[in-house]
Chains A and B, each alone.
Chain A
Amino acid sequence: MPKVKVPRKSTSVDMTAMTDVAFLLLTFFMLATQFKPDEPVTVNAPSSVAEVPIPDVDIMTITISEDSRVFFSMEGQQYKQELIQKMSALKQVAFTNEEIKAFSLMSSFGVPFDQLKQLLAVKSEERAKFNQTGIPCDSLNNELGDWIWQARLSNNKVRVAIKGDQNSNFPVIKQVIATLQEKKVNRFNFITNMSTEAAD
Chain B
Amino acid sequence: MAEIEGGGGGHKKGGKPKGKKMSTRVDFTPMVDLGFLLITFFMLTTSMSKPKTMEINMPVKDVEEIEKQKVKASQAITLLLAENDQIVYYFINDQTGEPETPVITNFSKGGIRATLLSKNKELLDRANNNNYDSIPILKDMYRRNEIPEDEMKRRISGIKANKDALIVVIKADDKAKYRNLVDILDEMLICNIGRYAIVDITDIEVELIKTAMATTANAATTTNPKTK
Interface residues of A (CB under 8 A from B): 10, 12-16, 18-19, 22-23, 25-26, 29-30, 32-36, 45-46, 48-54, 64, 161, 163-174, 177, 180-182, 186-195, 199-200
Contacts and interface: CB of A to CB of B under 8 A. Distances in A.
10 contacts: A29-B46, A32-B48, A33-B46, A50-B54, A161-B53, A174-B200, A181-B58, A186-B60, A188-B58, A200-B136
B59 to A, nearest CB: 7
Interface string B24-50: 000011011001101100110111111
Interface residues on B, range: 35 or more
Nearest to B183: A46
Given A32-B42, A200-B136, 11 more contacts: A19-B31, A25-B39, A30-B38, A35-B45, A50-B189, A51-B52, A168-B177, A169-B178, A170-B180, A191-B51, A194-B52
B39 A22 contact: yes
A19 B52 CA distance: 36
B168 interface: no
B149 interface: no
A19 B56 contact: no
B47 A187 contact: no
A53 B49 CA distance: 9
Interface of B: 1-4, 28-29, 31-32, 35-36, 38-39, 42-43, 45-61, 81, 136, 172-183, 185-186, 189-190, 198, 200
A15 B186 contact: no
B181 A170 contact: yes
Nearest to A198: B136
A12 B39 contact: no
A22 B190 contact: no
B201 to A, nearest CB: 9
Contacts of A26: 35, 38-39, 42
A22 B25 CA distance: 19
Nearest to B51: A191
A170 B52 contact: no
A48 B60 contact: no
A53 B186 CA distance: 15
Contact of A192 (B42, B45, B54, B175): B54
A48 B185 contact: yes
Contacts of B177: 166-170
A161 B182 CA distance: 13
A35 B45 CA distance: 7
Contacts of A22: 32, 35-36, 39
Contact of B49 (A12, A169, A194): A194
B136 A199 contact: yes
Contacts of A177: 58, 198
Contacts of B182: 46, 48, 164, 166, 190, 192
Contact of B43 (A29, A166, A180): A29
Nearest to B27: A15
A16 B1 contact: yes
A144 to B, nearest CB: 16
B2 A16 contact: yes
B124 to A, nearest CB: 19
Contact of B61 (A34, A51, A161, A182): A182
